[in-house]
């Protein structure tokens, strides 16, 4: 049997004030086609179905259509909540939907729920915080304690095939879990859990991190189906398909309605036919202009060629430079302290004050004396 591993749909998300709803509808239709073509037997969604705890009507409609299509085709769908979902709202109607093969487990009730499909046991762990688990296991302090305790108190028959769905921040000593800007990071960074908590499972279907990556041969983040920040611009999205015979993993690339790209150049270069026609000009873009002079109505100009510019930036602003101050002048003729004042102005955008100037002067004198 084969299952498809999805997570972090974030339906209803807005990226830089652009609604992603049409992009999400488009990508979910593509995923439905993959499910049909690959003869997938079960669908897993490892959390962050919605972007907001109270999703917009259009977001609920998009997900409803997706689930209805799967239920019509008799493909069981397993869903856990992520940190963005409201557990109670996502779980609405879940008992009724079970009869149609839609299994939503979003509110942690003290137990790790199991669902058997063919010869595979799927354990469903909704996103948990220590405080949610402490109700059942008062000794739990950290995120890792929480997940470890839940699994330790579950009877897992290791002679069978076991898969777990989880939406947490999993790390492995000696390797870095690659994050991106579109995930919400918990304050203090104490949410990480060591990969060893999942040692008993043949496959761990993770959600939460948006960049697809395997932490080990059997522990994997499938990533979000769309790029949700420019930090992901370089990394194309995929879906993960797992064959439960041997738990081998296959990825299939996704083609978004609009790609997210970063381009850089002078306005003349950016608006040249060659550059406009080099890729889809409807893509979501971050444009960096390298021009040294001011450009009047720069956003209007670039939008005339690229309607979906999300961010426009001037390279010189990024360096914090004021126009014209790019190189030191008078090296060899100016006294050292004046060169330092110029350097200070270049770095900070303001003149050095007299107190700091005196300090610089005295340090330079001391250096010369020695
Ligand atoms: Mn997420």
Q: What is the CATH number of the domain that holds 72?
A: 3.60.21.10
Indicate the pLDDT class of residue 370, thresholds 50, 70 and 90: confident
The domain boundary residue, chosen from 209, 229, 253: 253
- pLDDT of 325 reads 43
**Residue 346 binned pLDDT confidence (cut-offs 50, 70, 90):** low
Same-domain pairing of 307 and 174? no
Q: Considering the entire predicted model, what is its pTM?
A: 0.83
User: Does residue 188 form part of some domain?
Assistant: yes
The CA 174 to ligand 1 mean position distance, Å, reads: 24
Q: State the average pLDDT for the chain.
A: 92
Distance 8 CA to ligand 1 centre (A): 4
Claim to verify: residue 160 and residue 292 sit in the same structural domain: no
Which structural domain range is residue 22 located in? 2-253
User: Looking at the structure, do residues 229 and 151 belong to the same domain, yes or no?
Assistant: yes
Q: What is the β-pairing status of strands 203-207 and 161-167?
A: parallel
pLDDT-based confidence at residue 9 (cuts at 50, 70, 90)? very high
Residue 328, in any domain of the structure: no
The reported pLDDT for the residue numbered 329 is 67
How far does residue 150's CA lie from ligand 1's centre (Å)? 22
Distance of CA 169 from the midpoint of ligand 1 (Å) = 11
Ligand 1 centroid vs 231 CA: distance in angstroms? 14
In a shared domain, residues 173 and 311: no
**Which residues are CB-neighbours of 61 under 8 A, at least 6 positions away?**
none
Does some domain include residue 354?
Answer: no
What integer pLDDT is reported at residue 343 of this predicted model?
76
Domain boundary among 219, 234, 253: 253
User: Do 66 and 105 have their domain in common?
Assistant: yes
pLDDT at 161: 98
Find the 225 Cα to ligand 1 centroid distance in Å. Answer: 11
Q: How far apart are CA 92 and CA 69, in angstroms?
A: 19
Query: Do 176 and 296 lie in a common domain?
Result: no
Q: How many percent of the chain have pLDDT more than 90?
A: 78
**pLDDT score at 340:** 87
Q: Mark whether 287 and 173 lie in a shared domain.
A: no
Whether residue 1 has pLDDT greater than 90: yes
Average pLDDT over residues 10-22: 96
Give the Å distance between the CA of 155 and the centre of ligand 1: 29
In this structure, is residue 342 part of a structural domain?
Answer: no
Cα 196 to averaged position of ligand 1 atoms, centre (Å): 22
With bands split at pLDDT 50, 70 and 90, how would you rate the model's confidence at 323? very low
Say whether both 65 and 141 belong to one domain. yes
148 pLDDT tier (thresholds 50, 70, 90): very high
Final residue of a structural domain among 253, 279, 308: 253
pLDDT for 158 beyond 90: yes
Q: Is residue 287 part of a domain?
A: yes
* 18 plus 156 within the same structural domain: yes
Instruction: Give me the residue label for tokens 């110029």.
Output: 342
19 and 130 inside one domain: yes
pLDDT band at 186 (very low <50, low <70, confident <90, very high): low
Residue 324 pLDDT class (50, 70, 90 cuts) = very low
Per-residue pLDDT of 64-99, as tens digits, reads: 999 999 999 999 999 999 999 999 999 999 999 999
The total number of structural domains in the chain stands at: 2
How far is ligand 1, taken at its centre, from the CA of residue 46, in Å? 10
Task: Clarify whether residues 65 and 199 are in a common domain.
Answer: yes
Question: Picking from 138-142, 192-196, 311-315, which range would have the lowest pLDDT averaged per residue?
Answer: 311-315
* Nearest alpha carbon to residue 42 among 241, 238, 239: 241
Chain-centroid distance of CA 115 in Å reads: 28
User: Same domain for 247 and 266?
Assistant: no
For residue 30, tell me if it sits in a domain.
yes
Geometric angle at alpha carbon 56, from 19 and 212, rounded to 5°: 60
Asked if residue 370 belongs to a domain, the reply is no
Number of residues assigned to the chain: 370
CA of 207 to the centre of ligand 1 (A): 7
Residue 331 domain-assigned (yes or no): no
């Amino acid at each position: 049997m084969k299952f498809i591993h999805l997570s972090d749909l974030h339906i209803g998300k807005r990226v830089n004030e652009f609604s992603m709803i049409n992009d999400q509808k488009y990508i979910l239709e593509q995923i439905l086609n993959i499910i049909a073509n690959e003869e997938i037997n079960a669908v897993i969604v490892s959390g962050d179905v919605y972007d907001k705890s109270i999703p917009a009507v259009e977001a609920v409609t998009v997900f409803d259509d997706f689930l209805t299509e799967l239920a019509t085709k008799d493909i069981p769908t397993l869903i856990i909540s992520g940190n963005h979902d409201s557990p109670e709202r996502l779980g609405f109607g879940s008992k009724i939907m079970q009869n149609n093969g839609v299994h939503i487990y979003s509110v942690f009730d003290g137990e790790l729920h199991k669902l058997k499909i063919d010869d595979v046991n799927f354990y469903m762990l909704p996103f948990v915080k220590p405080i949610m688990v402490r109700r059942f296991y008062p000794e739990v302090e950290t995120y890792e304690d929480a997940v470890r305790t839940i699994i330790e108190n579950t009877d897992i028959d290791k002679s069978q095939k076991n898969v777990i769905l989880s939406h947490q921040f999993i790390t492995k000593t000696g390797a870095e879990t690659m994050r991106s800007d579109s995930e919400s990071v918990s304050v203090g960074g104490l949410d990480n859990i060591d990969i060893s908590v999942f040692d008993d499972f043949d496959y761990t279907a993770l959600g939460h991190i948006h960049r697809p990556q395997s932490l080990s041969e059997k522990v994997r983040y499938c990533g979000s189906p769309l790029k949700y920040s420019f930090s992901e611009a370089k990394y194309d999205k995929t879906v993960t398909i797992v064959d439960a015979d041997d738990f081998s993993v296959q990825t299939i690339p996704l083609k978004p309605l609009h790609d997210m790209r970063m381009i850089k150049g002078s306005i003349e270069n950016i608006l040249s036919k060659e550059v406009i026609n080099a890729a889809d000009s409807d893509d979501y873009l971050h444009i960096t202009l390298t021009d040294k002079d001011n450009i009047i109505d720069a956003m209007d100009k670039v939008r005339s060629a690229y309607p979906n510019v999300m961010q426009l930036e001037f390279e010189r602003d990024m360096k914090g430079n004021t126009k014209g101050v790019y190189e030191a002048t008078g090296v060899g003729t100016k006294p050292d302290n004046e060169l330092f004042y110029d350097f200070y102005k270049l770095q900070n955008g303001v003149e050095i004050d007299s107190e700091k100037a005196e300090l610089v002067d005295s340090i330079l004198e001391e250096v010369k004396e020695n």
